[in-house]
Amino acid sequence: MSDNRSAAIEYARSQHDRYLSDLIELVRIPSVSTDPAHKADMRVAAEHVVTRLKAIGMENIQIIETAGHPAIYADYLHSPGKPTVIIYGHYDVQPAEPLDLWETPPYEPTLRDGKLFGRGASDMKGQVMASIHAVEAVMKHGGLPVNVKWLIEGEEEIGSPNLLKVIEDNQELFKADFALNPDGGILGEELPAIIYGLRGLAYFEVHVYGPDHDLHSGIYGGAVLNPAAELTRLIAGMHDANGHITLPGFYEDVRPLDADERAELARLPTDNDYYLKHTGAPMLWGEKGYSPVEHTGGRPTLEVNGLLSGFTGEGAKTVLPSKAMAKISCRLVPDQDPEAIHQSLLKYMEQNVRSAVTWDVKVVSAGNPASITSRNSEGVKALANAMETVWGVRPLFRREGGSVPVVYQMNKILGIDSVLTGFGLPDDNLHAPNEKLTLGPWYKGIEALIHFFHNL
Ligand SMILES: [Zn+2]
């Protein structure tokens, strides 16, 4: 280990109490982005982060105003010819309600059994502070061997409505080689993990129209096609008996999982029992030939999210509904194009809807393809080696089933990939009462980030 590297690690180990009190100060600020009553607190939290960035020596610090809550930029660019990492974070939190389920008040951070309880402790004020602490430790001992930039927004918990514009308007400012996004977590205290893939999303409404008004099923039933029956028949046909999706061309662009990657995913501790336990379903069901980890991370899906038609109140109403609607969404994998999936759904409808009804497909959203970072990229390798140094085990590589808009936006506008990690645990109660951060892995995470910067 180089002298600078070990000195930075030693330093970080001597600072645990300060690291904790810095985090407690930030968690005290109720920066709830969705609640207009907390608008002033949002500003206080943003300024608090700015103060921290200034204190560790970051430069060109800017508060970027948006139509909503401000975003923060800062940089330290003194390693010409070396890579530039942009560190993403958010300083907003989810609302704390229901308050009566908290054992201690959400904005009075409390330490119990080596865990800090408070809203945002894990998601993601703890992760933002871990990054700041790591950069500081590296800077204090020999200087940063890479260039760093920061993008810390205040609207992640409400879907980042203004982030796209912030990135678009400041492309030159945010230019980097790749992004580090610590808004994820590890899988256990001794199970470090890196997320290298996220699924995309395409969301539709499928409408089927029959008679021009609701009919009496006794007088007219039998003479017209029931739109609810037709829509559900269409939905039933969207999967075959093996769980494959039948929309024409749906799988055309799907990037297959190779043997190497499947072996890597098979190391994850989330086996069949895990999914059974966490879903409460009587048994698992999915596309034949794949494991649940692959179903949820590496394969595309088509789900019915909601159905609307006819009479659903108590008792009986003998109605023949005039129309039916289904909300249908697809989780997409690399290299599927959401617009191509829209076309594929239209084609399925054209081929299958009977002419006794009319139909329409509305696009709710189709601008979010999947994203993936090569497991062999410099960023992933640097982080994987860093985690292995600290934890003594090779990290697990995960593909997450959900979508993180900022990852896709950075990829689309800045052309960069994101490495996702974080040092929270699966049971941190994110978005729920009694959110907590376990300090052991958090301190380890700070050390891992110190190694990460040196490895780069
Ligand atoms: Zn978050």
Q: Which residue has the higher pLDDT, 84 or 368?
A: 84
Question: What are the tens digits of pLDDT across the range 300-334?
Answer: 999 999 999 999 999 999 999 999 999 999 999 99
Q: How far away, in angstroms, is 96 Cα from ligand 1 center?
A: 14
Q: How far away, in angstroms, is 151 Cα from ligand 1 center?
A: 14
> For residue 85, what are the β-bridge partners?
148, 178
Q: How far away, in angstroms, is 124 Cα from ligand 1 center?
A: 5
Nearest to 94 by CA among 116, 49, 125: 125
- For the chain, the average pLDDT equals 96
Q: How far away, in angstroms, is 169 Cα from ligand 1 center?
A: 23
Give the pLDDT confidence score for residue 284 in this predicted structure: 96
Q: How far away, in angstroms, is 240 Cα from ligand 1 center?
A: 37
Q: How far away, in angstroms, is 198 Cα from ligand 1 center?
A: 15
Q: How far away, in angstroms, is 417 Cα from ligand 1 center?
A: 18
Q: How far away, in angstroms, is 183 Cα from ligand 1 center?
A: 5
Q: How far away, in angstroms, is 127 Cα from ligand 1 center?
A: 9
How sure is the predictor about 367, in pLDDT bands with cuts at 50, 70 and 90? confident
> What residue spans define the domains of the chain?
3-198+370-455, 202-254+300-368
Q: How far away, in angstroms, is 437 Cα from ligand 1 center?
A: 13
Question: What are the tens digits of pLDDT across the range 103-162?
Answer: 999 999 999 999 999 999 999 999 999 999 999 999 999 999 999 999 999 999 998 999
Q: How far away, in angstroms, is 424 Cα from ligand 1 center?
A: 11
Question: What are the tens digits of pLDDT across the range 329-355?
Answer: 999 999 999 999 999 999 999 999 999
Residue 390 has pLDDT above 90, yes or no: yes
Q: How far away, in angstroms, is 123 Cα from ligand 1 center?
A: 5
Q: Under 8 Å CB-to-CB from 91, ≥6 apart: which residues? A: 26, 31, 42, 45, 46, 48, 49, 72, 125, 128, 152, 153, 154
Q: How far away, in angstroms, is 227 Cα from ligand 1 center?
A: 41
Three-state secondary structure call for residue 342: helix
Position 450, amino acid: I
Within 10 angstroms of residue 190's Cβ, the number of other Cβ atoms is 12
Give the pLDDT confidence score for residue 436 in this predicted structure: 97
What is the spatial distance between Cα 182 and Cα 118, in angstroms, rounded to a whole number?
19
Considering the domain 3-198+370-455 in this protein, what is its CATH number? Answer: 3.40.630.10
Give the pLDDT confidence score for residue 1 in this predicted structure: 64
Q: How far away, in angstroms, is 120 Cα from ligand 1 center?
A: 8
Residue 189 has pLDDT above 90, yes or no: yes
What is the spatial distance between Cα 239 and Cα 235, in angstroms, rounded to a whole number?
8
Q: How far away, in angstroms, is 358 Cα from ligand 1 center?
A: 43
What proportion of the chain, given as a percentage, has pLDDT over 90?
94
Interhelix angle 3-14/126-140, rounded to 10 degrees, is: 130
Q: How far away, in angstroms, is 78 Cα from ligand 1 center?
A: 29
Within 10 angstroms of residue 61's Cβ, the number of other Cβ atoms is 15
Q: How far away, in angstroms, is 341 Cα from ligand 1 center?
A: 29
Give the pLDDT confidence score for residue 404 in this predicted structure: 83
Q: Tell me the pTM.
A: 0.87
Give the pLDDT confidence score for residue 101 in this predicted structure: 96
Q: How far away, in angstroms, is 376 Cα from ligand 1 center?
A: 26
Residue 253 has pLDDT above 90, yes or no: yes
Going from the C-alpha of 118 to that of each of 27, 112, 131, 305, 395, the distances in angstroms are 7, 11, 19, 32, 28
Residue 405 has pLDDT above 90, yes or no: no
Q: How far away, in angstroms, is 328 Cα from ligand 1 center?
A: 26
**The listed CATH number (3.40.109.10, 3.40.50.1980, 3.20.20.10, 3.30.70.360) that belongs to domain 202-254+300-368:** 3.30.70.360
Question: What are the tens digits of pLDDT across the range 256-279?
Answer: 999 999 999 999 999 999 999 989
Q: How far away, in angstroms, is 152 Cα from ligand 1 center?
A: 11
Nearest to 70 by CA among 44, 94, 99, 97: 44
